[in-house]
Chains A and B, each alone.
Chain A
Amino acid sequence: MSQPWTPPLLPDAAFEASSQAVDRALSRAFPRLMDVAALLSPEASRRLEDLAAVAAAQTLRHFGRSRLLFTPLYVANFCQNHCRYCGYAAHVAMPRLRLSLEEVAAEGERIAATGLRHLLLLTGEAPQRAGVDYILDCIRLLAPRFPGLALEVFALTEADYARAAQAGATALTLYQETYVPSVYRAMHPAGPKANYRFRLEAPARAAAAGLPSVTLGVLLGFSPWRQDVLALVAHAWHLLERFPGLEVGVSLPRLRPHAGGFAAPYPVADRDFVHAIVALRLALPMAGITLSTREAPRLRDGLVRLAATKLSAGVRTSVGSVAGSEQFAICDTRSVAEMAAMLRQQGLQPVFKDWQPLGEAREQAA
């Protein structure tokens, strides 16, 4: 049996690159690992405009002028984990809720009325309060309305991912948060999420179970960003090699203020954030890049021209519509209509549907 995959964690010195190395990396259709290190280097940062030009051309070539809009729906915030940075962590005092299936259906109707057809379903990790069966019930309820139904829930087994796919889920979003094991341990001191490898291997389990799309990510702010972004690229490459037909997307959420009051030890400046996003486009030319409402409108409006292809809109991070239960504070509060208008103003086409799921129940509903 082959060795389990382990992310490459390069030391800081590996990110020192010459201008020639950056040129070489920019000229490759599919950069290699050391090319990506060069693209993330301080030298590349000084040449951000060059990187942005190539990234914008790649994005135009592979995605044209269309950009997908979606929205999250938090259905429960019970959680056993003690993630130090999360507003839903077990130790944070906040109202704990789980939507009834009637409430889930009503939220689904409300969101579908905005025209969106891609939904991201989220929960905390509390199998006794909002476990797999509850999540499957939510999927079955929402699937007829949402041809793109992604899960952002705790890491599941392959069998449970298969059940989710069967029920109508079409994608997985699961962020490793950080690929650095020591930092991961420090940030996830207790609860099931403390199992680094179970989470690391979850996207592969989802792909093996038949989910056609996975989105990976790291939460920027825990540790020096270059190392984690490079490991994220390597993870995406690993999945593409193992599952050549899999649609692999990436995202780089930045830590935001939340009810737990955690301060990022390595905050990532706007310029570095943009650098990381355009480097992702160069490393993964075909990958969808998701940009959340953690980012400010001005930044999102700029990055949608360069690299971002999926944007959330009309976002609430509360459970359903319940005020006071927010996971974190968002920065871009624009509605679906406002986001669509922004895209049109930039000569881009807002796309509400970009997947046609198959499955007997789905085909009958269609």
Chain B
Amino acid sequence: MEREDVWELGGRTLTSRLFLGTGKLGDESCLPAVCAAAGAEVITVALRRVDLQAPDQGVLAHIPDGMILLPNTSGARTADEAVRLARLARAMGCGHWVKIEIIRDARYLLPDNEATVRATEILAREGFVVLPYMSPDLYAARSLVDAGAAAVMPLGAPIGSNRGLATRELIAILLEEISAVPIIVDAGLGRPSHAAEAMEMGAAACLVNTAIATAEDPVAMARAFALGVAGGRLAYLAGMPAVRQQASASSPLTGFLEGL
């Protein structure tokens, strides 16, 4: 019998490998259907969008019960701001998971790895399950692991760019070298095939927002991404054949040796 492909993150056992975002939807009331189509268990929400005067309204009201809430620190420009936003999220009852997002660049929206390491260190010490969004750099990834990150989340391409795994070679190095925590590819995945590619490479999961939220039919696109992630994962588990530059004949060219 086929064994269920479960994995561990932050003390929880997960079956889904597709995390969702919430930021760019036209209608948040479709979130339950999107989550169901994606089979998602983890969903990220920007604290900047949560109305602290009425937290039960707005985006939180549409997130199905039982999902793991992953508040993110969108808007933070420094480690200190990210830490304070995370504490605020926990104080509001949004749980103790946090996606650290520290961006000091309004043009490319690239994360600041150095500040992210500092915030990770502080928040992990305070008991948060810290999922840091980062530029795929081996040294930074190692520092994040040492700082207590529960996973590392390298970007495939700049946020919202839909360009897929533009950082493929750098993510491959992380997948090769970082084994202590899962690698979750975040940002830039514009098509289900991009997510499949990340999973084929051995990523533990993908986080997708823009491509699903801005699709004509977000529910159908969520399902498409779930299939892409599942297909890529299955291929990874099945053992991907090595890629070669030259052709490899189906009938061995040296087969004549057998008859000698």
Contact = CB atoms under 8 A, between A and B. Distances in A.
A242 to B, nearest CB: 12
A117 B254 CA distance: 75
B24 A366 contact: no
A286 B109 contact: yes
B48 interface: yes
A55 B42 CA distance: 32
A358 B81 CA distance: 7
B178 to A, nearest CB: 28
Contact of B107 (A61, A145, A147, A240): A240
Interface string A139-162: 000000101000000000000000
Contacts, number: 88
Contacts of A337: none
Given A286-B106, A348-B26, A349-B25, A358 B48 contact: no
A246 interface: yes
Contact of A244 (B81, B85, B107, B214): B107
Contacts of B213: 64-65
Interface in B87-121: 88, 91-92, 103-107, 109
Contacts of A112: 53
Contacts of A246: 106
Contacts of A147: 48, 52
Given A60-B214, A65-B24, A347-B27, A353 B81 contact: no
B79 to A, nearest CB: 12
Contact of A355 (B27, B75, B104, B107): B75
A65 B106 contact: no
B48 A353 contact: yes
B49 A351 contact: yes
Contacts of A356: 47-48, 50, 52, 75, 85, 88
B160 A62 contact: yes
Nearest to B159: A62
Contact of A66 (B25, B77, B104): B25
A65 B104 contact: no
B8 interface: no
A363 B160 CA distance: 30
- Which range holds the interface residue count of chain A? 20 to 34
Contacts of B177: none
A227 B77 CA distance: 33
A352 interface: yes
B125 interface: no
A26 interface: no
Interface string A92-122: 0000000000000000000010000100000
Given A244-B105, A352-B51, A356-B48, A66 B58 contact: no
A212 interface: yes
Contacts of B109: 286
B221 to A, nearest CB: 13
B23 interface: yes
Contacts of A22: none
Interface in B183-201: none
Contacts of B162: 61
A43 B85 CA distance: 48
A355 B48 contact: yes
B107 A366 contact: no
A112 B52 CA distance: 13
A112 B91 CA distance: 23
Nearest to B74: A356
A363 B75 contact: no
B103 A245 contact: yes
Interface string A282-322: 00001000000000000000000000000000000000000
B210 interface: yes
A30 interface: yes
Given A212-B77, A240-B106, A349 B85 contact: no
Contacts of B214: 60-61, 64-65
Contacts of B27: 65, 344, 347, 349
Nearest to A148: B48
Contacts of B25: 64-66, 349
B41 interface: no
A246 B48 CA distance: 16
Given A61-B160, A64-B24, A353-B51, A366 B85 contact: no
Given A64-B24, A248-B106, A353 B210 contact: no
B58 A353 contact: yes
Interface string A241-262: 0001111100000000000000
Interface in B142-171: 160-162
Contacts of A63: 24
7 contacts: A61-B161, A240-B106, A244-B104, A245-B106, A353-B48, A353-B51, A358-B81
Interface of A: 30, 60-66, 112, 117, 145, 147, 212, 240, 244-248, 286, 344, 347-349, 351-356, 358, 363, 366
Given A286-B106, A349-B26, A351-B49, 13 more contacts: A61-B162, A63-B24, A64-B210, A65-B213, A66-B26, A244-B104, A245-B77, A247-B106, A349-B28, A353-B48, A353-B49, A353-B58, A354-B49
Q: 10 closest A-B pairs (Cβ-Cβ)? A: A64-B24, A65-B26, A245-B104, A356-B48, A245-B77, A347-B26, A366-B52, A353-B51, A244-B105, A356-B47
